Structure 1
Amino acid sequence: MIGAITYWQGLAQKAIQNLEPGGYFEIQDYLYPLFGNRDDGKWRRPTYTNGRSIWWRRRSMLPHGSRKYSKMQASSPSEETRHVPIGGWPRDPTLKWTGRIVGGMLTDNLGGTSSALFTRHLRWTEEKMRVYLARVRKELQDHDIEALSRVYAVWGRKLLDAGL
């Protein structure tokens, strides 16, 4: 649902309202653009982040989420930020596996997450967009890029006395 929800607070509020008192909730979201893991000066921004930075607005409420959840009948909201690799470049087997899944997910969904940006906002033709996204897909396979994304998670419980 990357980029599909612009009003996270409203979605979270509805989710919490529909919980039984004491019920749990959790919301996770990726925040783009991608950033680099390299400290040797070889980091270059992937083509994908260059195009999206033209239009990409802040899609996530999660970087400041727990403060907002505490106002929505949620007790003890917690939050966590993690850096997740894009692609199979990490040496650690778990991160490599995670990176391959996330990279595959991003690659598979490029058309859906990008078509409005390129065709409506930038007025590109479908053909120009397809050529560009083919280059992006190729870059996502390049282990020299060592791209990362930030993943935010917020979770908590509905107050036991909420709505009584």
Structure 2
Amino acid sequence: MSLSPPPAPASTYSSSIDPASPQAIIEADSDHSDVAESCNTSTKSVNQSIFDYVKENGRTYHRYQAGSYLYPNDESESERLDLQFEILKVLFGGRNFYAPLEDPRKILDIGTGTGKWAIEMGHQFPRCEITGTDLSPIQPDWYPSNVKFVIDDAAEEDWMIKPDSYDYIHTRVLLGCFEDFREVIRKSFRYLKPGGWMESQEYMHTVYCDDGTMGSDYAFAEWTKTQDSAAMQLGRPLRIANKLKRWYEQAGFVDIHEEVYKLPVNSWPRDPQLKMLGRFSESSLLDGLQAFSLAFFHRGLGWTKDEIEVYLVNVRKAISDRNVHAYHKM
């Protein structure tokens, strides 16, 4: 739905969730012989202490604002983030954004991670200044001259520039990263130029199934509930995707659009592209499961690393079970 915006307010394009939205049923493949394959000139200047990462349970975590982000920042997680970027790009038909950008001059990417999105946007819009912010300096040393990376906490600090400055603000897969994502939305509204756009692309943490193949004992679904409980204990909610549209409306955004996509958990679909996406999704989930679990379960629930690893054995089996036709909404 497109609305005529009143003077001055910013707009939003939210690729998030409406759980009740009617979606086409994905047809399952009856051939289970498929086996998931493992998918495995500028410089930045930061204080050297930033690289003195926090070590916990065999993984490393950001030093800056230590403890506020619950996912690791080590090489294996960076590789998984790059895989996640490629998965979403294919899911979105090769697009990095949906907002109607024409000639933006300032773009902010909150939680830029490895910086792949910001770098691609820098190539696509060479006259635009792209700023990617993150708590960890895990971005590459070489990138377009119109791109810069800043170590910053979007939840706590000023955004380095005066209000009404950005043409476009982007967030992607930030569930569990903030105490209150509404504050990020409110800040975005303030820092966007009149007529600017905000866009969020977010996973719905819940696992869905349309054909009854996901039983009540499905270990991956049970894991999501356990992680959700730990996240709430730690004040880092995971269930934000289905609330984004309402939160944007409350912040004052207009001309709001929402798209919902299904991303299979593994390669169970018959459709070749969805099968491929499912295969890589499975790899991403298996590669990231420990990263998604350690800090949440250890800090939030008091579990030891050994207890967590034993618990994850059946979860990994469930993720790879093609008899269960599970998917996430994006």
TM-score bracket relative to the smaller structure: 0.7 to 0.9
> What's the CA shift string for 1:29-72, capped at 9, x where partnerless?
21223122333xx4224313213324515523332332331232
Q: Distance in 1 between matches of 2:223 and 2:265?
A: 17
| Aligned pairs (5 A) from 1:52-67 | 52-54=224-226, 56=228, 57=232, 59-67=238-246
Give the conservation status (yes or no) of the 8 Å contact 1:47–1:136: yes
d(CA) in 1 for partners of 2:204, 2:267: 19
1:5 aligned residue = 178
> What's the TM-score, normalizing by structure 2?
0.40
Which amino acid in 2 is paired with 1:46?
Y
Mapping for residues 97-112 of structure 1, pairs under 5 Å: 97-112=276-291
Q: Which residue of 2 aligns with 1:14?
A: 187
Per-residue deviation, 1:74: 1.9
Question: How many pairs are equivalent?
Answer: 149
1:34 to 207, 214, 218: 207
Poorly superposed stretches of 4+, deviation over 4 Å? none
Letter in 1 for 2:322: H
- CA RMSD of superposed structures (Å): 2.3
For residues 61-91 of structure 1, what are the alpha-carbon distances to aligned partners after superposition, in whole Å with 9 as ceiling and x for unaligned? Answer: 3323323312324221122333321111111
Instruction: Measure, in 2, the Cα distance between the counterparts of 1:122 and 1:31.
Output: 22
What letter matches 1:110 in structure 2? Answer: L
CA distance in 2: counterparts of 1:145 and 1:89, whole angstroms: 8
Gaps of 5+ in 2: 1-173
Alignment correspondent of 2:218: 46
Q: Report percent identity of matched pairs.
A: 28
Gaps of 5+ in 1: 152-164
Structure number having the greater helix percentage: 1
Cα separation, 1, equivalents of 2:266 and 2:227:
24
Provide the TM-score with structure 1 as the length reference: 0.75
Q: Match for 1:114 among 293, 303, 308?
A: 293
Q: Which has the larger radius of gyration?
A: 2
Aligned CA distance change for structure 1 residues 3 and 63 (closer, same or farther; 3 Å): same
Instruction: Provide the rounded CA distance (Å) in 1 between the counterparts of 2:225 and 2:294.
Output: 14
